[in-house]
Amino acid sequence: MFRVMANTPKAAVIASIKDFAARAKQTPPGETIRVLVVDDEEPVRKFVARVLKDAGYDITMAGDGPEAIDAASKMGALDILVTDVMMPMMTGDELARRIRQNETKVKVLYLTGFADRLFKEKTTLWEDEAFLDKPCSVAGLRQAVSLLYYGTTDGRPQAAS
């Protein structure tokens, strides 16, 4: 829902409507997509969680690998793991491997300010993996998650061919 005050400028009203429409189309009604957001930097973790929650995703947050493994074990099902690449105690790649021991179909979005390090440690991104450079925009993050999950940037499943 969005709120418009009587003295709100026309451009702000239009921007609010467009933002509302974008959020409404991200996750189809009745579909719950569970996302685990893992980053050792709290501001980044909160930004990612807020953006994805506003887009309709069900969010759980963790500050490091061990906390993420514990959170994933309590979530039931996990659809998407959004993780920082370089964290103390455990890399994002190691975290993804460990989570996939129980959640074999989880999709992984690696967030990194160090893309060169990602590909030193991980020479291949698999089909259900992608990476996004930090810092990223709201639109870029939403599109990356949508593309990873649905195969399209508009937050809707692709029609079967």
38-67 pLDDT, tens per residue? 999 999 999 999 999 998 899 999 999 999
Is the model's pTM score more than 0.85? no
Do the Cβ atoms of 67 and 89 come closer than 8 Å? no
Q: Is the pLDDT of residue 93 over 90?
A: no
Residue of 93 and 6 predicted with greater confidence: 93
- Calculate the average pLDDT of the chain: 78
> Mapping DSSP to helix (H, G, I), strand (E, B) and coil, where does residue 69 land?
helix
CATH of domain 31-150: 3.40.50.2300
The alpha carbon of 103 is separated from its chain's Cα centroid by a whole number of angstroms, namely 16
